[in-house]
Amino acid sequence: MQLPDGLVAVVKRECPTCVLVEPVLRELGATVWCQDDAGWFEHEDLELELSYRWNIETVPTLLRIEDGEEAARVVGWSREQWEGLTGVTGLGTGLPEHRPGCGSLSVDPDRIDALEARYGGTGLGSRRVELADLEDEHEAMYDRGWTDGLPVVPPTPERVLRMLRGTPRDPQEVVAVVPPDLVECTVEKVAVNAVMAGCLPEHLPVVLAALEAASADEFGLHGLLATTYFSGPMIVVNGPITRRIGMNSGVNALGQGNRANATIGRALQLVVRNVGGGRPGEIDRATLGNPGKYSFCFAEREEDSPFTPLAADRGVPGNAVTVFAGSGVQPVVDQLSRTPESLARSFAACLRVNGHPKLPLAFDAVLIVSPEHGRLFREAGWDRDRLVAEIGALLTLPSDELIRGAGGIEEGIQERLAGVELPKFRPGGLLVVHAGGDAGLFSAIVGGWVSGSTGSAPVTREVRT
């Protein structure tokens, strides 16, 4: 927005300092723009375009314009500085030597997002959709197929710009190529869906990392969507960021009630749906699915854990996410074990039924150890490797019990595998996480999809903050 050469001032009527210097501005013959009263001076800036474009943070601001460019500026009232800028002496006789100004309306927190969307030239690349005046925005988004069945937050330009402040990454940077349609997804597109999911800006780096992990080839997201199995992405978050953004790793960690847990997981699912094209009944062919396909995200409880953080154990220390193809939650009840050996046997017995008790090497799993159960391992000095090794030994199974027809169950492995012993889990196929509330001798198992190269492998990625 071009300004005339000479002295230009920006004021607002509700600012006492601006009212104080009114006689000085009229004496100087300055071109004065008022932010809140169209009748006070000749020019009004009620839409705040001039104030935004000229980066006015305080009123009054006095500018000297030369050849259309700013040559000097003074904020607030200072006789010495105003005389220096204007070259006029004896200004404001009878006024105090100095008075601070007031905040410009253009930096009001309630207005800055709208001004940036309107004048900022931010280059949001997403398509704008105009709704009719009588159209309900929530119903309109549902009718267009943009929701997961629950209402979503309308992704206005102001909200998307506010979300993008959660990351220093370029809005047009491609984060991932998202299955199943293999569409390039930018930071901006992730931000749009994060808004819809109800995220805060500080959640965005975690959503970006989760998308990077879920879109990795080894995670097999396309197959995970196309299968008739139950699974969808489950996100486990590690590092100081979990506390900074208020994630839940304690009471009801796998349940409802925590905004960060709920919206981060939901944002990933919305990106898969709205960018990648993974919609139920189309590419998503799950026979039953599971409630975690709305959102399945929690933080690992690293304090008082007997184990190193999951992400660090997988080679990514600090802030990180691990994405796993989770099929739902299976309870583990053991209220009587008082030794790690006994509790490990309980875990092994429950893990044997993962997928099916007669199918070894077929499905990965995550064992979520609660604090009361974890205390037994911590006090006995058992780490994650010790527990996994113990469970692995207990779940090395005689194949004669697993072949088709054994036990009167037709499901099972082929008869040619009779006479050998087979492990329930492939190497690295059992993950162990510490989470939950202080009270309750309950842990949980989250089963996976088909394991390894033919299905899905867990993926861990750094959260870039």
Residues 6+ apart with CB under 8 A from 195: 153, 154, 155, 156, 159, 160, 163
Whether 151 is in a domain gets the answer: yes
Q: Please, which pLDDT band fits residue 323 given cuts at 50, 70 and 90?
A: very high
Whether 86 and 172 share a structural domain: no
CA distance 357 to 296: 25
One-letter amino acid at 202 equals: E
Whether 132 is in a domain gets the answer: no
Hey, how many other C-beta atoms are within 10 angstroms of the C-beta on 57?
12
Whether 375 and 415 share a structural domain: yes
CA distance 417 to 70: 83
Question: Where a domain ends, among 73, 89, 119?
Answer: 119
Sign of CA dihedral 9, 12, 16, 19: positive
Q: pLDDT digit string (tens) for 350-405?
A: 999 999 999 999 999 999 999 999 999 999 999 999 999 999 999 999 999 999 99
Whether 95 and 208 share a structural domain: no
Element (H, E) at 171: none
Asked which of 126-130, 200-204, 331-335 is least confident by mean pLDDT, the reply is: 126-130
363-369/442-450 β-pairing: antiparallel
Residue with tokens 């006689």: 23
Q: Please, which pLDDT band fits residue 122 given cuts at 50, 70 and 90?
A: low
Q: pLDDT digit string (tens) for 296-312?
A: 999 999 999 999 999 99
CATH number of the domain within which 20 lies: 3.40.30.10
Residue with tokens 């009054």: 60
Whether 372 is in a domain gets the answer: yes
Q: Which two tokens stand for residue 225?
A: 């969507």
Whether 99 and 172 share a structural domain: no
Whether 134 is in a domain gets the answer: no
Q: What are the percentages of helix, strand and coil residues in the chain, rounded to 5?
A: 35, 20, 45
CA distance 260 to 206: 10
Sign of CA dihedral 113, 118, 120, 123: positive
- Strand, helix or coil for residue 177: strand
In this structure, are residues 165 and 178 in contact, taking their beta carbons and an 8 Å threshold? no
Whether 130 is in a domain gets the answer: no
Looking at residue 284, the DSSP 8-state letter turns out to be: B
Element (H, E) at 396: strand 396-398
Q: Please, which pLDDT band fits residue 250 given cuts at 50, 70 and 90?
A: very high
Mean pLDDT for all residues in the chain: 96
Question: Where a domain ends, among 119, 151, 174?
Answer: 119
Dmax over CA atoms of the chain, in Å, equals 106
> In percent, how much of the chain has pLDDT > 90?
93
Q: pLDDT digit string (tens) for 50-86?
A: 999 999 999 999 999 999 999 999 999 999 999 999 9
One-letter amino acid at 390 equals: E
Side by side, the strands of the sheet bearing 442-450 are 329-333, 442-450, 363-369, 430-434
61-66/6-11 β-pairing: antiparallel
CA distance 35 to 106: 9
Read off φ and ψ for residue 88, nearest 5 degrees.
-110, 130
In this structure, are residues 263 and 270 in contact, taking their beta carbons and an 8 Å threshold? no
Whether 90 is in a domain gets the answer: yes
Whether 262 and 215 share a structural domain: yes
183 closest CA partner among 270, 280, 274, 286: 274
DSSP string, 72-120: EEEESEEHHHHHHHH---STTTTS-SEE--EE-GGG-TTTHHHHHHHHS
Whether 83 and 201 share a structural domain: no
Whether 284 and 229 share a structural domain: yes
Whether 125 is in a domain gets the answer: no
- Strand, helix or coil for residue 4: coil
Whether the predicted pLDDT of 121 surpasses 70: no
Read off φ and ψ for residue 257, nearest 5 degrees.
105, -15
One-letter amino acid at 65 equals: I
Q: Which domain holds residue 352?
A: 141-462
Whether 55 and 104 share a structural domain: yes
Looking at residue 130, the DSSP 8-state letter turns out to be: P
Whether 281 and 411 share a structural domain: yes
In this structure, are residues 110 and 103 in contact, taking their beta carbons and an 8 Å threshold? no
In this structure, are residues 247 and 261 in contact, taking their beta carbons and an 8 Å threshold? yes
Q: pLDDT digit string (tens) for 411-458?
A: 999 999 999 999 999 999 999 999 999 999 999 999 999 987 889 999
Whether 126 is in a domain gets the answer: no
Hey, how many other C-beta atoms are within 10 angstroms of the C-beta on 314?
17
Count of structural domains within the chain: 2
Based on the number of CB atoms within 10 Å of its own CB, is 83 exposed (0-12), middle (13-18) or buried (19 or more)? middle
Hey, how many other C-beta atoms are within 10 angstroms of the C-beta on 367?
25
Whether 194 and 94 share a structural domain: no
Question: Where a domain ends, among 58, 88, 119?
Answer: 119
Whether the predicted pLDDT of 272 surpasses 70: yes
Number of helices (H), then strands (E), belonging to the chain: the values are 16, 21
Whether 166 and 234 share a structural domain: yes
Q: Please, which pLDDT band fits residue 154 given cuts at 50, 70 and 90?
A: very high
The CA-atom distances, in angstroms, between 422 and each of 185, 192, 246, 344 are 42, 47, 42, 19
Question: What pTM, to 2 d.p., does this model score?
Answer: 0.88
Whether 110 and 178 share a structural domain: no
